[in-house]
Structure 1
Amino acid sequence: LVKRLISKGDRVNVLTRDKAGARETLGQFSQLGFYSKGEWKDGIEGTKAVINLAGEPISTRWSEGVKQEIFDSRVNTTRYLSDLIRAAENKPEVFVSGSAIGFYGTSLGATFTEDSPCGSDFLAGVCREWEAAAHAASESGEGEGPRVVCLRTGLVLSKEGGVLEKMIPLFQLFIGSPLGAGDQWMSWIHRDDLVSLIVESVENKGISGPINGTAPNPVVMNEFCKALAECLGRPMFMPAVPDLPLQVLLGEGAILVLEGQKVVPEKAKDVGFKFKYETLGPALTHATRF
């Protein structure tokens, strides 16, 4: 995302808790400014857009402490940013804040759009509070508040993190297989399309509120694993991993792999957004090779 914005000629202010780590990760572009947490107000003042994608990883066993970190890193960080935006003299035009398709809860049969109601599980509750914290940026401040966009992101396809970083090594070792029943939905998006959707959300004044960051063609777990095995040139002969070991290993966090949701990007299609990767095969081919 940072590289895309810089290539467009934008200056990017990086709001971080770790300046040194951020510089090491992002490099020394002349268009980058780094602001530690105590300096975030200066980094926000007078900017065109604030993009907030902060959040602790969720693909681990959920102890009560981990659940609190999942909540705090998303909701409290977003509340803090909203407070700073409301207090700014020169407010940003738009606040794009992360959310997730976990907002909808899980289902084998339902199809979710941006108009679907919030679910009732832990992640749905986190997403509900996360989005409420973002919308607070446009409330009761001095002057007109920014347009707020909440990006409900699905499974992001990239070798450098997320689901593929964990699955590719297993399939390369001929031990990859579906998890659970295999009929749970996987609503995915290629990283390049997600970056483009974020940029579109900044630039298109017709986008506000929730928008699903998923490709138009979700698949079930069995289809995803078959496509990944084919893409990597590996057979898929291992039996599916049953529910119980995953529940023992991950506890409540097993919901991430054993249950899913079929989410479609209704709003992105309505505003004319063009996906580069609409179907899984080409998306996996690119994501596993580049």
Structure 2
Amino acid sequence: MHVVILGGTGFIGSALTRALLARGDAVTVPSRAPRAPGTPGAGNAGGFSTATWNGRDPEPLIRLLEGVHAVVNLVGENIAGGRWTPERKARIVDSRVAAGQAVAAALGAMNGAGLPAVLVQASAVGYYGCWPDMAAAPRCGEGDPPGAGFLAETCARWEASSAPAQAMGVRRCIIRSGVVLGAGGALARMLPAFRAWLGGPLGSGRQPFSWIHLADEVGAILHLLDTPSCFGPYNLAAPQAVDNAGFAAALNRAVGRPAWLPAPSAPAFALRMALGGLAEEALLAGQVAPPDRLADSGHAFRFPTLDAALADLLAA
């Protein structure tokens, strides 16, 4: 299988690249600044190749996508990269929509010749809206409509950006991911505070915390690439639902913090003052998004429980 990964230099894309190469697939990673020949991972060594792409122009993609088996589109500016100013919000949306539209335009320009068999389109569980209390939060299924708020609107536009591919006969799978826990990403930002005995729940701690181990994120994407019967949206979140306080307690246990020591929390008002809408939607609210369609398709999680996932990650 030859897979083109857009956004392949990021946290999830790099792990997916390694997994595909390890099983003998060929991978091409377009980026704004591909590595020069002779540097580790550059060129065509071991089935890996790079190409230049600016994230929005469909023309270079036409040649790259012709004859490949699959495309994975993970492009998007980091949601949690800083306070949601109007400028940052515009970049968050534009980076996602421009990349998806470029993929659709490139596929359309190929006129049905040499089209990839499958497109995996990134999204997030924020599609369903935000709930501040897990006890009152609905179980969000893949057939549910988008919720309200910036995250939901962004995810809906992100998913729609590459939708024309379906009319061209390309099997399209949408991955609505929770917080991906791995050696980097969100967990890396949390660990220093928890190791310093300063980690605790955010705000009330009652908000849902939708999570997935990086190995299961990658495994689910591989499953969707490999399974011709899979199409449409899939929740990529672990089966074990926890609230933010439950996550904080599990991470404290994983780093060896005494259970009897009170866990401090970050007050909601302070988070709102510092981060505005980012805090309101991404930190003080969440979603319960069980991976029902993944389970129905035959996919099994390696790390279905939070304690097992954190133990594995911290051991590594």
Question: Structure 1-normalised TM-score?
Answer: 0.94
Q: Quick one: which of 204, 222, 240 aligns to 1:199? A: 222
Matched, 1:149 2:149: no
Per the TM alignment, residue 239 of structure 1 is displaced from its structure 2 partner at its CA by 2.5
Per the TM alignment, residue 33 of structure 1 is displaced from its structure 2 partner at its CA by 1.4
Partner of 1:112: 140
In structure 2, distance between residues paired with 1:23 and 1:66: 36
Q: Which runs of 5+ in 2 are unaligned?
A: 1-15, 54-58
Q: Contact 2:100–2:162 at 8 Å: present in 1 too?
A: yes
Per the TM alignment, residue 97 of structure 1 is displaced from its structure 2 partner at its CA by 0.8
Per the TM alignment, residue 32 of structure 1 is displaced from its structure 2 partner at its CA by 1.1
The 5 A counterparts of 1:10-159 are: 10-20=25-35, 26=41, 29-37=45-53, 39-59=60-80, 60-88=82-110, 89-107=113-131, 108=133, 109=136, 110-139=138-167, 144-159=168-183
Partner of 2:265: 240
Paired residue total = 285
In structure 1, distance between residues paired with 2:240 and 2:128: 17
**Worse overlay, 200-209 or 231-240:** 231-240
State the secondary structure of the residue aligned to 1:151.
Answer: strand
Q: Contact 2:42–2:50 at 8 Å: present in 1 too?
A: no
Q: Contact 2:42–2:49 at 8 Å: present in 1 too?
A: no
In structure 2, distance between residues paired with 1:8 and 1:30: 11
In structure 1, distance between residues paired with 2:307 and 2:287: 20
Partner of 1:178: 201
Letter in 1 for 2:26: R
* Superposed CA offset, 1:93-118 (max 9, x none): 00001000000001232111101221
Q: Contact 2:203–2:265 at 8 Å: present in 1 too?
A: yes
CA RMSD of aligned residues (A): 1.8
**Worse overlay, 19-28 or 83-92:** 19-28
Partner of 1:230: 253
In structure 2, distance between residues paired with 1:145 and 1:23: 38
Q: Which runs of 5+ in 1 are unaligned?
A: none
Q: Contact 2:208–2:242 at 8 Å: present in 1 too?
A: yes
Question: Structure 2-normalised TM-score?
Answer: 0.86
Letter in 2 for 1:253: L
Per the TM alignment, residue 24 of structure 1 is displaced from its structure 2 partner at its CA by 6.6
Per the TM alignment, residue 159 of structure 1 is displaced from its structure 2 partner at its CA by 2.2
Identity of paired residues, percent? 34
State the secondary structure of the residue aligned to 2:68.
Answer: coil
Q: Quick one: which of 268, 273, 289 aligns to 2:299? A: 273
